[in-house]
Amino acid sequence: MDALELARWQFAITTVYHFLFVPITIGLSAIVAGYHTAWVRTHNPAMYKMTRFLGKLFIINFALGLATGIVQEFQFGMNWSDYSRMVGDIFGAPLAFEALLTFFLESVFIGVWVFGWGRIPEKLHAATMWLVHIGTVLSAFFILSANSWMQNPVGYHINPDNGRAELTDFVAVLTNKVQLVAFPHVITAAYMTAGGLVMAISLWHLRRLSTQAPALETIETEAGAPSHGKGRGGAHAAITDGTNYRETYRKAARVGAIVTLVASLGVIVTGDLQGKVMTQVQPMKMAAAEGVYQTEAPAPFSVFATGNLEGTEATHWIQVPGLLSYLGKGNFSAEIEGINDIKAEYKTKYADSALTNDTTTEFTPYVPVAYWTFRIMIGLGMLGTAMSLLTLWITRKKGDLKVLRPKWWHWAIIATPFFPLLGNSFGWIFTEMGRQPWAVQGVLLTRFGVSPRTSATEVLISMIVYTLLYGALAVVEVKLFLKYLRRGAEDIGEPPTYSHIDDEDRPLVYTY
């Protein structure tokens, strides 16, 4: 492979890996903030334990996500110097806001939250996690502003003297029509991912409590109150400190399921809006996502298709009549342009263009990737939604946990957080691969953005280093995550006291 192909693989590996952490960080910070607020309002020890338990998982995820995110910006300068030279004035502005404003907002208040237990007023302490969440959301906003500009460039002009894109309207970049639908779609998908994670963790602990000591569970259910046990783990740990962990996890599973279900409805609505904007500004991406080679009116939605070896046509085995027309233009009989017509239009439009500097490009993304990532994204999202409905049904009554004892539940619970998580990843792959061969739609082809003086060997070495580093980080992440996941809320100590904070006679001490 040449430097271009290796640079593209490196970007794909590091970006997809980093994006595994992003939705969890955004969504889980909101759920932790919600539990912390509930504890401040009720002083229920169960709320405190779930806050600290989920907070540990959030901190682990945030730390690893931070380490993997830094590499993204290094890549632009190392492998994509021509891209950076061409669009850096525009692309750099939202990235600077993200780094200088939101990243420091997140980092500072995470520190205050971690070290602030019992040291600052409890309401102010709970507010710090909300500020962390706001920081994560703003961070996503600015990153998506930059990415949306690549999908639909606005608020710029090309300087004829140096050939660079220069910013003319920053507000237009922030209010790009692609951004206005992509941002809520990503945020709701992040809530869905975090909800699925909390739902799965809670169901795992519920099943553990149910299968390890069914006799004690029966006693507890019949008595309506916890009895005494011994040892750590299982139902014994659930009754030694007076906290009914089974009820705590049941409620947490329902919280996760409700967040997942509500967020999935948001994902569906924003996804529909995104499809219509995509058809308007990137008709080739929509055509590739559906494997539509010839313009059709009305256009059916393809559920399953196969293509010929030449990649010039597809055989659609299962279709829903008119649905693609509605998804693309809000009308069941509307016309949807096909790949062949759009390709001919682009070849005429961009022939001998100084911006693309190329007359041989086919202007078509790799259709099988666009087609199947789009469907896998939707399918995994639907599985996450179905699991949330099932969880709400089986946890509707207190004490009835026998349904979780069959072995298949073990694997269903393990798979649950991966439905929305991998759905996010496939959505991200579709977003980036569907835009090809453009780095910036209609402005710069990807192959003209690569660094001209970086050799294939140099890119290969850095890719191997990053991949090995990311592999090591993955081992650390999984080990830490599983360690604290298994400990659960039972491992958390008593809530701190805040009464001494208002004591004017107390001696001055360092806060940590």
Band of pLDDT at residue 501, cut at 50, 70 and 90: low
Question: CA 29, 31, 36, 42: dihedral to nearest 10 degrees?
Answer: 170
Look at residue 359 in the predicted model and tell me its pLDDT: 62
Contact 292, 339 (CB under 8 A): yes
Q: How far apart are CA 323 and CA 302, in angstroms?
A: 9
pTM: 0.89
Structure tokens given for 102: 């939101």
pLDDT at 234 over 50: no
Look at residue 219 in the predicted model and tell me its pLDDT: 41
pLDDT at 85 over 70: yes
Structure tokens given for 460: 């290969």
The 10s digit of each residue's pLDDT in 86-128 is 888 888 888 888 877 777 888 899 999 999 888 889 999 999 9
Q: Alpha-carbon Rg of the chain, whole angstroms? A: 26
Window from 10-19, 466-475, 498-507 with minimum mean pLDDT: 498-507
The 10s digit of each residue's pLDDT in 315-346 is 888 889 999 999 989 999 999 999 999 998 88
Band of pLDDT at residue 241, cut at 50, 70 and 90: low
- The per-residue DSSP string of 333-400 comes to T--B--HHHHHHHHHHHTTT-TTT--S-------HHHHHHHHHHHHHHHHHHHHHHHHHHHHTSSSS-
The 10s digit of each residue's pLDDT in 203-233 is 999 998 888 755 444 444 444 444 433 344 4
DSSP class of residue 102?
I
Look at residue 198 in the predicted model and tell me its pLDDT: 96
CA 10, 14, 19 angle in degrees (round to 5)?
145
Look at residue 181 in the predicted model and tell me its pLDDT: 95
Provide, rounded to the nearest whole percent, the portion of the chain with pLDDT above 90.
51
Local structure of 163: helix, strand or coil:
coil
Provide, rounded to the nearest whole percent, the portion of the chain with pLDDT above 70.
89
Look at residue 424 in the predicted model and tell me its pLDDT: 93
* Residue 392 half-sphere exposure toward CB, CA atoms < 13 A: 16
Structure tokens given for 286: 């929509």
For the chain, give the number of residues. 512
12 burial (CB, 10 Å; 0-12 / 13-18 / 19+) is middle
First-last CA distance in the chain: 52
Structure tokens given for 33: 């903030």
The 10s digit of each residue's pLDDT in 36-46 is 999 999 999 89
The closest of 99, 103, 109 to 131, measured between CA atoms, is 109
Mean pLDDT along residues 397-403: 77
Name the residue with higher pLDDT: 119 or 262. Answer: 262
Q: Which secondary structure element, helix H or strand E, spans residue 204, and what is its range?
A: helix 177-212
Look at residue 502 in the predicted model and tell me its pLDDT: 62
Band of pLDDT at residue 310, cut at 50, 70 and 90: low
Contact 87, 173 (CB under 8 A): no
Look at residue 225 in the predicted model and tell me its pLDDT: 43
Highest mean pLDDT among 295-299, 348-352, 388-392, 474-478: 388-392
Q: How far apart are CA 339 and CA 154, in angstroms?
A: 24
Band of pLDDT at residue 246, cut at 50, 70 and 90: confident
Look at residue 228 in the predicted model and tell me its pLDDT: 39
Helices 177-212 and 45-79 cross at an angle (nearest 10°) of 130
Mean pLDDT along residues 11-32: 92
Band of pLDDT at residue 425, cut at 50, 70 and 90: very high
Band of pLDDT at residue 163, cut at 50, 70 and 90: confident
SS (H, E, C) 209-268: HHHHCHHHHHHHHHHCCCCCCCCCCHHHHHHCCCCCHHHHHHHHHHHHHHHHHHHHHHHH
Q: How far apart are CA 166 and CA 91, in angstroms?
A: 10
Tokens 């890996």, residue?
Answer: 17
Number of helices and strands in the chain (H, E): 18, 6
Mean pLDDT along residues 152-175: 91
Q: How far apart are CA 316 and CA 337, in angstroms?
A: 17
Q: How far apart are CA 294 and CA 365, in angstroms?
A: 16
The torsion angles phi and psi of 174, rounded to 5 degrees, stand at: -75, -25
Alpha-helix residue ranges (DSSP H) falling in 488-497: none
Q: How far apart are CA 498 and CA 195, in angstroms?
A: 30
How many other C-beta atoms are found inside a 10 Å radius of the C-beta of residue 177?
A: 16
Mean pLDDT along residues 388-403: 86
Helices 45-79 and 81-97 cross at an angle (nearest 10°) of 150
pLDDT at 20 over 80: yes
Contact 450, 6 (CB under 8 A): no
The closest of 372, 345, 363 to 445, measured between CA atoms, is 363
Q: Residues 6 or more apart from 484 whose CB is under 8 A from it?
A: 53, 56, 57, 60, 491
The 10s digit of each residue's pLDDT in 2-18 is 899 999 999 999 888 88
Region of residue 231 (left: phi > 0; alpha: psi -120 to 50; beta: else) = left
Contact 415, 391 (CB under 8 A): no
pLDDT at 49 over 70: yes
How many other C-beta atoms are found inside a 10 Å radius of the C-beta of residue 191?
A: 23
Contact 174, 94 (CB under 8 A): yes
- Mean pLDDT for the chain overall: 86
